[in-house]
């Protein structure tokens, strides 16, 4: 099986932004062990256990003047190589040898991202994305939440394999 992408950085925080890099991640049904949320009623939980954002999106935002790096946008997994235009709720991926995740929904950016620029949320999210329309030019840019189907450990540089579309 050929990987669809890889994890370039694993990130956690004590709540809020930015998340900091960690060497490896123990993934539970509620996300990465040690990762906390300032607003658990909005972030986290079984359907939003992990947030994935593509390094390519961060690179593009940086080129447009936003001071973002891996972990800045609150993602647990900074990925590389995944085609964000093809991400859909219900897709399942294996990360490394152990972990299986299922994408649940695009992330709706919060006001906390304003610390990187007032217009950042509008750069990565629009009404079409909110409505679940993958035809939006901003599809996948705000990141995707995922549930954990099978817990385990994600090592640094773990490959990401597309498995199937469950729904």
Q: Which domains does the chain have, with CATH numbers?
A: 5-165 (2.40.33.20)
- Per-residue pLDDT tens for 11-21? 999 999 999 99
Tell me the pTM.
0.96
Tokens of 149: 């189907």
**Residues 129, 12, 138, CA angle at the centre, nearest 5°?**
15
How do strand 31-32 and strand 50-54 relate by DSSP bridges?
Answer: unpaired
Q: Please, which residues bridge with residue 145 across strands?
A: 51, 105
Q: What is the pLDDT of residue 34?
A: 96
CB 25 within 8 A of CB 31: no
Flag whether pLDDT at 65 surpasses 80. Answer: yes
Instruction: At 62, give phi and psi (nearest 5°).
Output: -65, -40
Q: What is the pLDDT of residue 156?
A: 86
- Per-residue pLDDT tens for 24-57? 999 999 999 999 988 877 788 999 999 999 999 9
Q: What is the pLDDT of residue 39?
A: 81
What is the mean predicted confidence (pLDDT) over 90-114?
A: 96
Flag whether pLDDT at 61 surpasses 90. Answer: yes
One-character DSSP codes across the chain: ---SEEEEEEEE-SSSS--EEES-EEEETTEETT---S-TTTS-SGGGSEEEEEHHHHHHHHHTT----TTTT--SEEEES--GGG--TTEEEEETTTEEEEEEEE----GGGGGG-TTHHHHH--HHHHTT-TTSTTTTTT-EEEEEEE-EEE-TT-EEEEEEE--
């Amino acid at each position: 099986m050929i990987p669809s992408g890889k994890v370039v950085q694993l990130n956690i925080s004590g709540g809020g932004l930015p998340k900091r890099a960690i060497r490896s991640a123990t993934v539970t049904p509620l996300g990465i062990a040690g990762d906390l949320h300032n607003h658990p009623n909005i972030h986290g939980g079984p359907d939003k256990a992990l947030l994935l954002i593509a390094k390519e999106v961060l690179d593009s935002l940086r080129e447009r003047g936003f001071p973002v790096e891996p972990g800045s946008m609150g993602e647990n997994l900074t990925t590389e190589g995944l085609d964000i235009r093809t991400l859909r709720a219900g897709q399942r991926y294996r990360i490394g040898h152990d972990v299986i995740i299922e994408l649940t929904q695009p992330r709706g950016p919060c006001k906390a991202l304003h610390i990187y620029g007032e217009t950042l949320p509008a750069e990565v999210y629009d009404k079409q994305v909110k409505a679940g329309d993958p035809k939006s030019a901003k599809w996948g840019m705000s990141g995707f939440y995922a549930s954990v189907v099978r817990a385990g450990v994600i090592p640094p540089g773990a490959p990401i394999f597309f498995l199937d579309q469950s729904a």
